Chains A and B, each alone.
Chain A
């Protein structure tokens, strides 16, 4: 294989892989870090979103996709955020009303 082609095609996945493995290692290491559970969860989820973003942009080629494709990619996550957001809002704010009898 031509060296130029190899560099051109392998550079992005190789760099993305290194970044993703580093984030995975940080996330795994955080499990043993002496920080509060809630804060730890927030940091872990932030790293997860960072990993998903890296994968979508560089491996799923969203960085050179059309606006329509980017919109379609964002739609699933937007609906998911709405679903989980509304559900948890209801769950955490609902006041149980005992039956009158």
Chain B
């Protein structure tokens, strides 16, 4: 056992079933990827529902999408892409023990996540004003009214679940920032930050698909 492993084990950072930090890191990363695969399937069911409902009434989905705000959706996509870059930079940099910069990058990432949530909240308030809130205040008329309602049901289900993931991601990234600042995560033990980064990127990937399917059709 080398001194680094002994030190990490003494600090309780390596579980007893692992030989060293490298083995634990590889196992944790594999576990995280399997978890992300289940997340892909979780959102996949909603995307599958979207595909069937859109195939049943494509015109309604085009009309429904015209009510969404493309500028908000595009800016939110840009924000998440930028946050993915900052978290990747932080994960790369932690190996060099640049504590201050990594903490700042994680704070920026969390702040970008909060900005995303605020923008989405503004969007929801606009949709409420336009009577598009399914189950609360929905007032669309015409032959495609039911289809538009179904579009907005899926829109809220998918974007709310996604926002919930962003909220969890913000909490996790914020916690990582605190742990890096307190030197609990540093070169030699970066596993929690790497895993948090993977989760954050998945949240971004989901929005990459949600944005065109919800905002860009019917323009």
Looking at the assembled complex, report how far the CB atom of A43 sits from the nearest CB atom of chain B, in whole angstroms: 10
Contact residues in A for B219 (Cβ distance below 8 Å) = 31-32
- A-B pair count, CB < 8 Å, reads 136
Q: Which residue in chain B gives the minimum CB-CB distance to A53? A: B205
Chain A CB within 8 A of B47 CB: yes
Q: Which of B31-39, B117-125, B130-138, B174-182 contacts A (4 or more CB under 8 A)?
A: B31-39
- Tell me what chain A mostly uses at the interface: helix, strand, loop, or mixed: helix
Q: How large is the interface on B (under 10, 10 to 19, 20 to 34, 35 or more residues)?
A: 35 or more
A residues in contact (CB < 8 Å) with B = 1-2, 5, 8-10, 12-14, 16-17, 20-21, 24, 27-28, 30-32, 37, 41, 44-45, 47-48, 51-52, 55-56, 58-61, 65-66, 68-69, 72-73, 75-77, 79-80, 83-84, 87-88, 91-92
B residues in contact (CB < 8 Å) with A = 26, 29-30, 33-34, 36-41, 44-45, 47-48, 51-52, 55, 58, 62, 70, 74, 77-78, 81-82, 84-89, 91-93, 96, 98, 101, 197-198, 201, 204-205, 208-209, 211-212, 215-217, 219
Given pairs A17-B84, A45-B209, A69-B29, 14 additional interface contacts (CB within 8 A): A17-B81, A24-B77, A28-B70, A31-B217, A41-B217, A44-B212, A45-B212, A48-B208, A55-B201, A56-B201, A59-B201, A73-B37, A76-B41, A87-B52
